[in-house]
Amino acid sequence: MSDRKKEYRAGILDGIPIGLGYLAVSFTFGIMAADAGLTVLQATILSLTNLTSAGQFAGLGVIQAGASFAEMALTELIINLRYCLMSCSLSQKLARNMPFFHRFFMAYGVTDEIFGVSVCREGILSPWYSYGLISAAVPGWTFGTLLGAVSGSILPQRLLSALGVALYGMFLAVILPPARKNKVLMGIILVSMGASLLFSLLPVVSGISSGFKIIILTVLIAGGAAFLFPVKEETENE
């Protein structure tokens, strides 16, 4: 077996758990996309071309608010800016003579989970290993969205409303366990909730569109948290 095939096979094996995890999360996104008025095809293409859970969920809110393209672009830029940093980090693991087209297609598949697996890969990062990860992860994210969008378009409205409540419960289940272990994270969550409530009630800012509210709150809260509570880098001796 050639080195390319070995790397690609290793990438697929490491990417299967990521794809299975994506299937559940993107199913939720598909339901919400259908509820926001997107067709099954639109929701599926959106997931296939974006591969960003936080950005896509935020984008649905901007779409439902009827915000402008400028607000959508700025929102996505801020939320997905972390991928630029991840790509810069991964570039240090690439061979210097790697062709541009490999770098281009590898950049398409940079997600939080794929980055985590790739950065832990020993030695030079092969593009074929990345293609294996992408081949296993992207179908899970896309197919899950397809299933969710189809379900959202055919299920009764009462059941969709019940699922909508369950989705909020799922989000709470995601944020509460780490928040209970980290007082700073808990404080940031509470501040975010309080600030969102104030922005919806105060006359001075209540007239601002939902898209710009997301942008302002993200920049202020995330920026303030990063400045006041920077994450310390772990050393090998720790």
Per-residue b or e along 93-103, where b marks 16 or more CB atoms closer than 10 Å to that residue's CB? ebeeeeeeebe
Average pLDDT over residues 93-105: 92
DSSP 170: H
Average pLDDT over residues 121-129: 90
Question: Which among 10, 219, 1, 236 has a CA at the least distance from the CA of 127?
Answer: 10
Per-residue pLDDT, 101: 94
Which residue would you say has higher pLDDT here, 119 or 39? 39
pLDDT tens string 157-191: 777 666 666 656 656 766 777 788 888 888 888 99
pLDDT at 135 > cutoff 80: yes
pLDDT at 24 > cutoff 60: yes
- Entry pTM: 0.71
| Rounded distance between C-alpha atoms, residue 54 and residue 142, angstroms | 15
**On the CB side of 142, how many CA atoms lie within 13 Å of its CA?**
15
Going 179 to 181 to 185 to 187, the CA torsion angle's sign is: positive
